[in-house]
Amino acid sequence: MKFIDLGLDPRILEGIDAMGYENATPVQQQVMVPILEGKDIIAAAQTGTGKTAAFSIPILQLLSNQIRHSKNPRALILTPTRELAAQIGESVTTYGKYMQMRSTVVFGGVIINPQMKKLRPGVDVLVATPGRLLDLFSQNAVKFNQVEVLVLDEADRMLSLDFEQELNELLQVIPEERKTLLFSATMTSKVQNGLTPWKH
């Protein structure tokens, strides 16, 4: 499957082209069309398979269908580590480079104030680790009322890093009408059992 056949916004295709990608990887072939159709998905995918683009590109497309800069994020991507968060942030910037898409990355282990400041002007796509996101939410630095798509990236690692409580708290306050895209390297019983309250 070629990216050009997906009916993507030409500005996204330009971003993909700048990366030199032409053909979708297997995980991209499996999930991109359902995401573009607005479906929830659960996918087993390891790092290195192209999973970041598999969710980033359709999310940009979904957001581009309706240009509406919001104060609060329309897409929220949760991931377990700051390295992954930074990497996802770069992908979103790369594929969305020719669009007016504002994205920000927030993670724990650093002081919170600069992140609060970054969020103030508004953001379309927010990439975050769960603990820091919950802190920012508790301090009113971000609201979830406009979230249309939620990505749970590396769900198994988020659970093994003890983010379960934070995830459950976040899922209580993120609107239920959202789409949920879940990626996990392994589909352990913990991920699958843990999935139940995340479904809507």
Residues of this chain that bind ligand AMP (CB under 6 A):
21, 23-25, 28, 47-53
Of 106, 2, 127, 119, nearest to 60 by C-alpha is 127
CB of 19 to ligand AMP, least distance (A): 6
CB of 96 to ligand AMP, least distance (A): 14
Q: Which residues contact 133 (CB under 8 A, 6 or more apart)?
A: 76, 78, 106, 126, 142, 166, 170
* Residue with Cβ nearer ligand AMP (44 or 116): 44
Of residues 115 and 184, the one with the C-beta less far from ligand AMP? 184
Tokens 């600069």: give the residue: 114
CB of 191 to ligand AMP, least distance (A): 18
Q: What is the DSSP string of 102-134?
A: -EEEE-SSS-SHHHHHHHTT--SEEEE-HHHHH
Q: Distance of alpha carbon 2 from its chain centroid, rounded?
A: 22
Q: Which is nearer to ligand AMP, 26 or 121 (CB)?
A: 26
Which residues, in sequence order, are bridge partners of residue 75? 125, 149
Report residue 15 as tokens: 């971003």
Nearer to ligand AMP, 52 or 115 (CB): 52
Please give the Cα distance from 188 to 156 (Å, whole number).
Answer: 7
Distance CA 200, CA 184 (A): 19
In the bound state with ligand AMP, the residue whose beta carbon lies nearer, of 2 and 68, is 2
* Nearest CA among 144, 99, 100, 154 for reference residue 119: 144
Which residue is at the shortest CB distance from ligand AMP? 52
CB of 157 to ligand AMP, least distance (A): 13
Shortest distance in whole angstroms from residue 95 CB to ligand AMP = 10
Nearer to ligand AMP, 50 or 108 (CB): 50
Q: In angstroms, what is the minimal distance from the CB of 115 to ligand AMP? A: 24
